[in-house]
Chain A
Amino acid sequence: MKRLRAFWRHYRRNLAAVIGLAILSLVLLMALSAPLLFPTDPWEIVARPFIWPLQDWSYPLGTDMLGRNVAAGIFHGAQVSLLIGIIATIAALFVGVLVGALSGFYGGLTDDVLMRLTEIFQTVPAFIFIFVVVAIFNPSVQIIVLAVAIVSWPPIARLVRGEFIALRNRDFIQGCIAIGMNDLRIIFVQALPNALAPVIVTASVTVALAILAESGLAFLGLGDPNVMSWGTMIGAGRQVLRQAWYLTAIPGIAVLLTVLALNLIGDGLNDALNPRLRGRS
């Protein structure tokens, strides 16, 4: 609790990071309140088409070319974006931390094999990979999460590996090895907590990149057809860009603000968690 308060004291010094946190909280609130505020399916036609924003207060963000409520789409889309971004990142963290920790801790052949594997996944162009996998196995939230996770773990693995190489030679780890502590216990109980700070910073950026990837995929028509996603809305709005640009602009701004917020939070966490940088701007 005390450490948490100390952390917050450092974090709140960074105004941009606080703004980022506020925006993300708002998006989270939108995602959580979507089923309450907009209980009807966001795909459902509720009014006449092409009501512009701020014209009719029952539809503050207007309606699309079929008469669907744009505000409902934005709120439900927040759910999809955050869900995919967060779950894919958790999966990527799991694999990345495991591979990086084993690689950095054991070194030698283990390191060689695992790093070659990482290199393979890092060489394949990420978005093209996601695109091909989702196309082959048909779009669903599960496949999208899986594909995004597969391209997201290598940078985390490299980061954790670097931390573990440095940690391995520290006295307290050498001490653990000397008293014959179980390897897994050293890795996860002793070393990992000391390597977590940069991982947490990277995680917020990973969520941001995952959200961008999902929106791009949905824009190309490879989103899960059963859920309303911001990218899908942009793709649909594109057809009527000339007549009703707000249908493209609004969901795009939603993606932009969410990704921006996550990046700002990442910068803030970096400043607050990295004591070497404290005092520098």
Chain B
Amino acid sequence: MTRAFRIVRRRVLQMIPVILGIVVFNFLLLHLAPGDAVDVIAGEAGAGDAGYMARLRQQYGLDQPLPLQLVRYLWNVVQLDLGQSFRQNQPVLDLILARLPATLLLMGTAMVMSILFGVVLGVIAAWRVRSLADTVISIIALLSYATPTFWIGLMFILFFSVTLGWLPTSGMQTIGTSQTGLQAAIDVGRHLLLPAITLALFYMAIYTRLMRASMLEIYGQDYVRTAQAKGLSDGRVAFKHVLRNAMLPVVTMIGLQVGALLGGSVLVETVFGWPGLGRLAYNAVFQRDFNLLLGILLLSSVMVVVANLLVDLLYAALDPRIEYR
């Protein structure tokens, strides 16, 4: 059995109770919510006579004891049936999958940006510790960590779009044009730039601070002194010996931040009119579409679990000492 396979197997076994817990939790939330799906439908129709509502409840199985409903709900989720959005008359899963690519594009870009800038800034700060560059980088990181994401997004719109007119204010594509190929990609890229930077800032700050601390700690270790003593160049010590080990806490943090990144994209998508999951959730709230909302909550939790699995593998690739039992 290969090492990667063992890691995956162990992780998947660990994931099962967590996902099961989240599904049960979701179910409870749905039932604690004031009013059920039938109330929503009846409200939609304007009125509902008691007989009709009772029949509907029977049809959806809402009249059955709670444990039985839970079993049925679990069975549906296992079959990837997240129920129906009563507002949009479509399966919840279809609605989510239609919006997922936009969110993944935004999240992925923001994640790459935050890691790249965070690591580079952290390395520079640690390399020139207590210099002017270190101070400036620390201040940037502190400010980025304290700034509300949605607010800095609005300020970017004000400056780059309204005042300078460089970039579009919202959406994912220019409406009313039929571009193809490279042109279309550039158009999406122009729309993507501001939201991605907005989302990336907060996480960039986390990685900068972590990377700086982690580099400084590793610079103090004996094996680094050995590497320096045997006459390796500064660059070789920094990149071959220090950087790789200093990346480990950053990789762990990336896994921990995936969920937060998803939450952040709800806000950023709302600010920039980005047609992703966040916008879907935002609209679902105001339409009181609980099935859809809980579907989004469940699926985003599953995404976090999957992301953590990937991070584990990446971690193992970076550090061959890691062995999972």
Contacts and interface: CB of A to CB of B under 8 A. Distances in A.
Nearest to B139: A16
A128 B300 contact: yes
A125 B290 contact: no
A57 interface: no
22 contacts: A120-B18, A120-B25, A123-B22, A124-B25, A125-B300, A128-B263, A128-B296, A128-B297, A131-B266, A135-B284, A136-B32, A212-B148, A215-B148, A220-B270, A234-B148, A248-B154, A256-B146, A256-B147, A259-B145, A259-B146, A260-B142, A263-B146
Q: Mostly helix, strand, loop or mixed at chain A's interface?
A: helix
Interface string B294-315: 1011001100110010000000
Interface of B: 17-18, 21-22, 25, 29, 32-34, 130, 142-143, 145-152, 154-155, 157-158, 162, 259-260, 262-264, 266-267, 270-271, 281-282, 284-286, 288, 290, 293-294, 296-297, 300-301, 304-305, 308
B293 A132 contact: yes
Residue among A122, A220, A234, A281 having the largest count of chain B Cβ atoms under 10 Å: A220
B18 A126 contact: no
A123 B150 contact: no
A183 interface: no
Contact of A220 (B267, B296, B305): B267
A255 B151 contact: yes
A5 interface: no
A142 to B, nearest CB: 15
Contact of B150 (A16, A120, A219): A219
Interface residues of A, number: 45
A222 interface: yes
B25 A136 contact: no
A50 interface: no
A176 interface: no
A128 B262 contact: yes
A196 to B, nearest CB: 23
A10 interface: no
A43 interface: no
A249 B151 CA distance: 8
Contacts of A127: 260, 262-264, 266-267
Contact of A252 (B18, B148, B263): B148
A119 interface: yes
A125 B262 contact: yes
Given A119-B18, A256-B143, A263-B145, 5 more contacts: A128-B281, A132-B296, A138-B34, A241-B154, A252-B152
A2 interface: no
B158 A256 contact: no
Nearest to A230: B148
Nearest to A119: B18
B154 A132 contact: no
Interface string A222-261: 1000000001001000100110010011001001110110
Nearest to B152: A252
Contact of A137 (B33, B145, B266, B281): B33
A208 interface: yes
Nearest to B24: A120
A73 interface: no
A121 B25 CA distance: 10
A22 to B, nearest CB: 15
Contacts of B259: 122-126, 128
A166 B25 CA distance: 32
B18 A123 contact: yes
Contacts of A260: 142-143, 146
B154 A116 contact: no
A238 B154 contact: yes
Nearest to A125: B259
Nearest to B267: A216
Contacts of B271: 238
A129 interface: yes
Contacts of B155: 248-249, 252
